[in-house]
């Protein structure tokens, strides 16, 4: 009896070990592994009311890639997993989040950083450790992105791309506009952005009227800023960056200004109109994707459907974060390696990229001193008589 | 000339915004000697409640404002009894309690209200234009409501029985108790009123500016500036200090730029306090 029990136990153990060794069904007879991608965003603190939803786009990309079988690297399949960390809206928080991902979780690929202090803080951890950092925005500050940050890549056409697309549209559609007054948040980047916009305007035979009108980051009432902007009597008002353009539009229109207001940055059409109010939402254009526009590329339409199903309402940041993760995984697949130096080298050699927004490429050699910026078309939209209107998909080059 | 006129109306409008927010804060400080740092968060909650009642239930904005003021005022009862009353006289505990309330309210709003900024539909539509200046009807309403509330509250405190009881409790709580005044009842009423005023401010601001979970932080700083400048013990002084700070915030951005605006503004307030440390209308503490 006792011998029978021992025999049964041994038999069950052997069967269980055999089953564990075989594992679940997998491609090429191997179990899929996980490719963890860190995502740093503000889940609390400054900017969190918007940025806490940024991981949605990354999650959508992960779902899409995993649904197609994951990423294949030398015969091994990897399922993408997004690991989110909170930067608490501060530089210290961003550094701490990066530190946790790199040194505690052992993650080698990080997506994150929009405000300049966040990008620089993440770089301070990722660059010495040779971790690939996909930056989500460029504020044109020297320490943010360039030869000193060889493991950082930029997947958003950002300030410069936005300027190019919006100013080309201005030149094409508003030939009577010869000068603009520039409005921007006083976040330390004003001297560099001021110079940049001045150069971009001059390239197109236009000019900046007076110095930039700068507003403190915690401004809630834009009436005084609107008064100052209107008083400059420029041909148009140009909102350069910041996140409260709707309030500014309303303040300007409330004071009787009927001219053109434009933006070179990327804004959310529905939110801009919500903040400005329908009566003020006219004679405005900016960079931004109009959800549902038939002119949108197939990938935009696909991501839109996914976002509508999983994370409604559809917002532009979902496309941008999808793009960030997709770019990174394309580079990893091109390298056929998870070694970060191999991925960096492969990424630098890629001239063409598939992007959510259409055919893309790499640029930035002349502008940033390093060819680490993905370039793709920008969508322009307008607000006319309280309606959102698709304008154009505009080609962008970042030399 | 046109710009001067516009700057004047901007100053009046900003002053009204600040006074409206500061009134409830000042009331609690003057009557309960309580520094309610959660006032900004309560103001934010008031705005969101008004917005949700307007959006979700389709109620008229004025009805939503009244309901929000009532609801948040009743929340003030809870706050006074369980969060402030146990710690009267212990300022550090009250401050810690305020911070906890801020964290709870802001995080709840951040999680439940979604990522998009919201606005309450205008209470009164239209723009008034005259003599080269423009002002929305909503801002005129805010100016009117602020002025009426300051006058009304000052009258209430000086002339009504409950108001005089508040003054007695503020000046000498033990003496007031010996006179048969229930300090707990008076404090509770002051808190209800203070929170209700915060909700009114949040609702009106939600139509003029925009609602966000952190909108109270900036306004709390303004409220503190107004109260310090006017001095402890003076509600009517809020109107004057509101005009000063509103004027600074309306004029400085036009004549200077960016972060310099804030530095100069704070510098002027510090200078005034150096000249008159107890505030413009304050009493000795």
Tens-digit pLDDT profile for residues B41-85: 999 999 999 999 998 888 999 999 999 999 999 999 999 999 988
Structure confidence at residue A27 (pLDDT): 43
Q: In sequence order, what are the residues at sequence separation of 6 or more whose Cβ sits closer than 8 angstroms to the Cβ of residue B232?
A: B29, B30, B278, B279, B282, B283, B285
Residue bearing tokens 């056929």: A336
A213 interaction partners in chain B (CB closer than 8 Å): 257
Please say whether the beta carbons of A54 and A41 come within 8 A: yes
Calpha distance A133→A340 (Å, rounded): 10
Percent of chain A with pLDDT over 70: 94
Average pLDDT, chain B: 88
Confidence tier at A51 by pLDDT (50, 70, 90):
confident
* DSSP conformational letter for A47: T
Calpha distance A242→A220 (Å, rounded): 12
The CATH superfamily label for domain A29-154+298-356 reads: Response regulator (3.40.50.2300)
The answer to whether the bond into A373 is cis (omega within 30° of 0) is: no
Structure confidence at residue A205 (pLDDT): 96
Residue bearing tokens 């890549």: A153
Selecting from B10, B214, B261 the residue whose C-beta is nearest the C-beta of A223 gives B10
**Are A224 and B254 in contact (CB < 8 Å)?**
yes
Residue B210 at interface with chain A, using a CB cutoff of 8 Å? yes
Q: Is the pLDDT of residue A169 over 90?
A: yes
Structure confidence at residue A385 (pLDDT): 94
Calpha distance A62→A58 (Å, rounded): 6
**Are A231 and B115 in contact (CB < 8 Å)?**
no
Confidence tier at B115 by pLDDT (50, 70, 90):
low
**Are B13 and A221 in contact (CB < 8 Å)?**
yes
Which of B78, B103, B102 is closest to B191 using CA atoms?
B78
Residue B261 at interface with chain A, using a CB cutoff of 8 Å? yes
**Are B214 and A49 in contact (CB < 8 Å)?**
yes
Confidence tier at B284 by pLDDT (50, 70, 90):
low
What average pLDDT does this structure show over B254-276?
Answer: 84
- Between A66 and B273, name the one with better pLDDT: A66
Residue A254 at interface with chain B, using a CB cutoff of 8 Å? yes
Please say whether the beta carbons of A262 and A168 come within 8 A: no
pLDDT tens, B135-153? 899 999 999 999 999 889 8
Residue A104 at interface with chain B, using a CB cutoff of 8 Å? no
Which of B264, B108, B124, B107 is closest to B208 using CA atoms?
B124
The CATH superfamily label for domain A160-293+381-394 reads: Response regulator (3.40.50.2300)
Q: Which helix (H) or strand (E) holds A360?
A: strand A358-363
Q: What count of CB pairs under 8 Å joins A to B?
A: 95
Residue A223 at interface with chain B, using a CB cutoff of 8 Å? yes
Structure confidence at residue A22 (pLDDT): 47
Tokens coding B223: 């409220």
Structure confidence at residue A21 (pLDDT): 47
B129 interaction partners in chain A (CB closer than 8 Å): 256
Residue B209 at interface with chain A, using a CB cutoff of 8 Å? yes
**Are A190 and B262 in contact (CB < 8 Å)?**
no
Nearest-5° Cα angle at B113, B110 to B115: 75
What average pLDDT does this structure show over A342-355?
Answer: 94
Domains A29-154+298-356 and A160-293+381-394 in one fold: yes
A256 interaction partners in chain B (CB closer than 8 Å): 127, 129, 134
Q: Which residue of B has its CA nearest to A248?
A: B209
A49 interaction partners in chain B (CB closer than 8 Å): 110, 113, 115, 117, 212-214
Q: Is the pLDDT of residue A24 over 50?
A: no
**Are A44 and B17 in contact (CB < 8 Å)?**
no
Structure confidence at residue B96 (pLDDT): 93
Q: Is the pLDDT of residue A26 over 50?
A: no
- b/e sequence A278-294, b meaning 16+ C-beta within 10 Å: eebbbbbbbbbbbbebe
What average pLDDT does this structure show over A128-143?
Answer: 90
Dihedral sign for Cα atoms in the order A52, A58, A63, A66: negative
Structure confidence at residue A2 (pLDDT): 64
Domain-wise residue ranges, chain A: 29-154+298-356, 160-293+381-394
Q: Is the pLDDT of residue A295 over 50?
A: yes
CA distance A14 to chain B (A): 50
Dihedral pair phi/psi, residue B134, rounded to 5°: -130, 140
**Are A48 and B110 in contact (CB < 8 Å)?**
yes
Please say whether the beta carbons of A364 and A262 come within 8 A: no
Which of B77, B4, B214 is closest to A231 using CA atoms?
B4
**Are B117 and A275 in contact (CB < 8 Å)?**
yes
Structure confidence at residue A9 (pLDDT): 67
**Are A221 and B213 in contact (CB < 8 Å)?**
no
What average pLDDT does this structure show over B243-264?
Answer: 86
Residue B91 at interface with chain A, using a CB cutoff of 8 Å? no
CA distance B111 to chain A (A): 8
Structure confidence at residue A30 (pLDDT): 63
Q: Are strands A213-215 and A152-154 parallel, antiparallel or unpaired?
A: unpaired
- Between A262 and B125, name the one with better pLDDT: A262
Selecting from A216, A227, A246 the residue whose C-beta is nearest the C-beta of B10 gives A227
Which of B253, B119, B220 is closest to A222 using CA atoms?
B253
Structure confidence at residue A28 (pLDDT): 46
Confidence tier at B130 by pLDDT (50, 70, 90):
confident
**Are A224 and B258 in contact (CB < 8 Å)?**
no
Calpha distance B213→A358 (Å, rounded): 36
Average pLDDT, chain A: 91
């Amino acid at each position: 009896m006792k011998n029978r029990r021992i025999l049964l136990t041994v038999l069950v153990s052997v069967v269980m070990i055999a089953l564990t060794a075989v594992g679940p069904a997998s491609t090429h007879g191997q179990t899929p592994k996980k490719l963890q991608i860190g995502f740093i965003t503000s889940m609390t603190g400054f900017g969190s009311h918007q940025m806490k939803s940024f991981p949605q786009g990354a999650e959508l990309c992960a779902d899409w890639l995993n649904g197609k079988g994951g990423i294949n690297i030398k015969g091994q399949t990897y399922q993408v997993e997004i690991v989110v960390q909170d930067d608490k809206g501060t530089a210290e928080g961003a550094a701490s989040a990066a530190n946790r991902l790199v040194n505690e979780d052992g993650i080698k690929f990080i997506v994150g950083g929009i405000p300049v202090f966040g990008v620089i803080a993440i770089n301070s951890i990722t660059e010495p450790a040779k971790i690939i950092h996909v930056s989500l925005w460029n504020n044109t500050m020297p320490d943010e992105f360039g030869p000193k940050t060889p493991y950082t890549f930029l997947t958003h056409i950002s300030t410069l791309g936005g300027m190019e697309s919006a100013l080309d549209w201005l030149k094409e559609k508003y030939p009577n506009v010869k000068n603009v007054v520039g409005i921007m948040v006083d976040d330390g980047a004003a001297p560099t952005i001021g110079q940049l916009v001045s150069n971009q305007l001059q390239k197109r035979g236009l000019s900046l009227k007076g110095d930039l009108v700068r507003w403190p980051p915690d401004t809630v009432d834009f009436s005084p800023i609107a008064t100052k902007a209107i008083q400059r009597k420029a041909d148009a008002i140009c909102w350069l960056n910041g996140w409260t353009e709707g309030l500014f539009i309303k303040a300007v229109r409330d004071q009787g200004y009927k001219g053109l207001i434009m933006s070179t940055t990327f804004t959310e059409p529905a939110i801009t109109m919500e903040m400005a109010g329908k009566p003020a939402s006219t004679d405005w254009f900016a960079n931004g994707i109009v959800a549902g526009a038939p002119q949108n590329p197939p990938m935009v339409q696909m991501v839109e459907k996914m976002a509508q199903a999983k994370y409604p309402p559809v917002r532009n940041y979902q496309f941008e974060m999808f793009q960030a993760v997709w770019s990174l995984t394309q580079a990893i697949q091109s390298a056929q390696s998870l070694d970060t130096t191999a991925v960096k080298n492969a990424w630098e050699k890629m001239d063409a990229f598939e992007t959510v927004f259409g055919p893309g490429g790499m640029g930035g050699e002349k502008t940033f001193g390093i060819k680490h910026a993905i370039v793709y078309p920008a969508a322009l939209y307008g607000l006319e008589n309280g309606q959102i209107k698709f304008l154009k998909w505009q080609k962008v080059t970042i030399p | 000339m046109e710009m001067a006129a516009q700057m004047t109306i901007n100053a009046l409008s900003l002053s009204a915004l600040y006074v409206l927010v500061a009134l409830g804060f000042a009331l609690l400080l003057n009557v309960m000697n309580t520094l309610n740092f959660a006032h900004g968060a309560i103001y934010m909650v008031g705005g969101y409640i008004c917005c949700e009642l307007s959006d979700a239930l389709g109620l008229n904005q004025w009805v939503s404002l009244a309901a929000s003021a009532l609801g948040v005022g009743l929340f003030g009862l809870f706050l006074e009894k369980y969060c402030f009353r146990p710690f009267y006289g212990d300022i550090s505990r009250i401050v810690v309690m305020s911070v906890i309330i801020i964290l709870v309210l802001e995080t709840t709003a951040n999680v439940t209200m979604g990522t998009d900024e919201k606005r309450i539909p205008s209470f009164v539509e239209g723009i008034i234009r005259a003599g080269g200046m423009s002002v929305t009807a909503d801002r005129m309403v805010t100016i009117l409501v602020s002025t009426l509330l300051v006058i009304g509250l000052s009258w209430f405190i000086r002339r009504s029985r409950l108001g005089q009881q508040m003054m007695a409790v503020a000046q000498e709580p033990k003496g007031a108790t010996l006179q048969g005044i229930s300090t707990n009842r008076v404090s509770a009423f002051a808190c209800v009123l203070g929170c209700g005023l915060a909700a009114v401010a949040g609702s009106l601001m939600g139509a003029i500016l925009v609602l966000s979970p952190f909108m109270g932080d900036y306004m709390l700083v303004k409220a503190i500036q107004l109260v310090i400048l006017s001095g402890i013990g003076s509600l009517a002084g809020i109107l004057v200090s509101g005009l000063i700070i509103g004027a600074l915030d309306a004029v400085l951005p036009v004549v200077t730029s960016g972060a310099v605006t804030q530095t100069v503004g704070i510098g002027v307030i510090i200078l005034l306090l150096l000249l008159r440390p107890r505030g413009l209308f304050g009493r000795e503490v």
